[in-house]
């Protein structure tokens, strides 16, 4: 029994010894770490004191102080300008709303409109024309149409039908003629009638076609391709149309 107790107590003793050995070592390590930190702080303080002593602060001169004051003033002015720019623009004063005019009664509106309606209308301006002497021969009204895209021969075939005819008969003949150039002759006849009525104060229904003729105009020359690499000429003819109207006897 005594041997068993001694065997059980041996491990306990060993554990106690190890704990006792470990404890002083940890305490020694902590003490060494604290000593190292104190030494480092002392060294930094000494270095700072040495640098301050080595550099030495220089007292500023009056000129330096004046320059610093000027620089501070400039900075303050710049900040003030920035603040002014950043401030929102002052709101413009709102205009007072316009008062609406009270609606006039219908009786007043009608009374205002009546005088305007009663005013006489101004006559349209007219040209001052010299009265024609009845002893002179009757006037002849002329109208021309140039560069009509039709040959003179085709135009003559139509104008021969209206020569010597009254205006009413000429209009009817041109309206029923199945040729393209008849439209150009009809436009020219209406132009001549308008000239007689507006420029010579004549009545269009009292006129007749005294002279009518078609003259050749310039020919437009074009070419078209033909067989075996040849080309043939195309003549696009034009004509000048003339109508002369005069009053009936």
- pLDDT, one tens digit per residue, over 120-170 is 667 765 555 556 667 778 889 999 999 999 999 999 999 999 999 999 999
Q: What is the pLDDT of residue 103?
A: 59
| Residue ranges for the chain with pLDDT beneath 50 | 1-3, 5, 24-25, 52-56
Q: Which two tokens stand for residue 182?
A: 């008849």
Q: What is the pLDDT of residue 171?
A: 95
Q: What is the pLDDT of residue 73?
A: 82
DSSP string, 140-173: -EEEEEEEESS-HHHHHHHHHHHTT-BHHHHHHH
Nearest to 222 by CA among 211, 210, 206, 233: 233
Nearest to 153 by CA among 229, 215, 205, 224: 215
Produce one character per residue of 5-38: b if its CB has 16 or more CB atoms within 10 Å, e if not: eeeeeeeeeeeeeeeeeeeeeeeeeeeeeeeeee
Residue 211's CB is within 10 A of a number of other CB atoms, namely: 14
Q: What is the pLDDT of residue 159?
A: 94
Q: What is the pLDDT of residue 191?
A: 95
The pTM of this model reads 0.47
Q: What is the pLDDT of residue 93?
A: 63
Q: What is the pLDDT of residue 118?
A: 60
Domains and CATH numbers, the chain: 141-247 (3.90.470.10)
Q: What is the pLDDT of residue 21?
A: 60
Q: What is the pLDDT of residue 79?
A: 80
Distance CA 181, CA 166 (A): 20
Q: What is the pLDDT of residue 123?
A: 72
DSSP state of 105: P
């Amino acid at each position: 029994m005594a041997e068993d107790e001694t065997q059980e107590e041996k491990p306990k003793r060993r554990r106690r010894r190890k704990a006792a050995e470990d404890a002083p070592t940890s305490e020694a390590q902590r003490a060494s770490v604290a000593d190292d930190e104190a030494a480092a702080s002392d060294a930094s303080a000494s270095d700072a004191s040495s640098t301050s002593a080595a550099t030495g602060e220089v007292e500023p001169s009056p000129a330096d102080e004046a320059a610093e004051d000027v620089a501070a003033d400039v900075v303050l002015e710049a900040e003030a300008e920035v603040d002014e720019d950043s401030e929102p623009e002052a709101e413009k004063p709102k205009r007072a709303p316009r008062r609406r005019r009270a609606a006039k009664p219908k009786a007043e509106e009608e009374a205002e409109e009546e005088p305007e309606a009663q005013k006489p209308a101004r006559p349209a301006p007219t040209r001052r024309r010299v009265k024609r002497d009845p002893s002179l021969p009757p006037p002849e009204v002329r109208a021309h149409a140039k560069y009509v895209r039709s040959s003179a021969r085709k135009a003559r075939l139509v104008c021969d039908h209206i020569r010597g005819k009254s205006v009413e008969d000429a209009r009817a003949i041109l309206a029923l003629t199945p040729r393209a150039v008849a439209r150009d002759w009809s436009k020219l006849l209406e132009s001549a009638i308008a000239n007689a009525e507006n420029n010579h104060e004549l009545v269009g229904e009292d006129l007749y076609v005294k002279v009518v003729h078609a003259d050749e105009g310039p020919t437009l020359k074009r070419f078209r391709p033909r067989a075996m690499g040849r080309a043939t000429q195309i003549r696009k003819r034009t004509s000048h149309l003339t109508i002369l109207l005069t009053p009936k006897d």
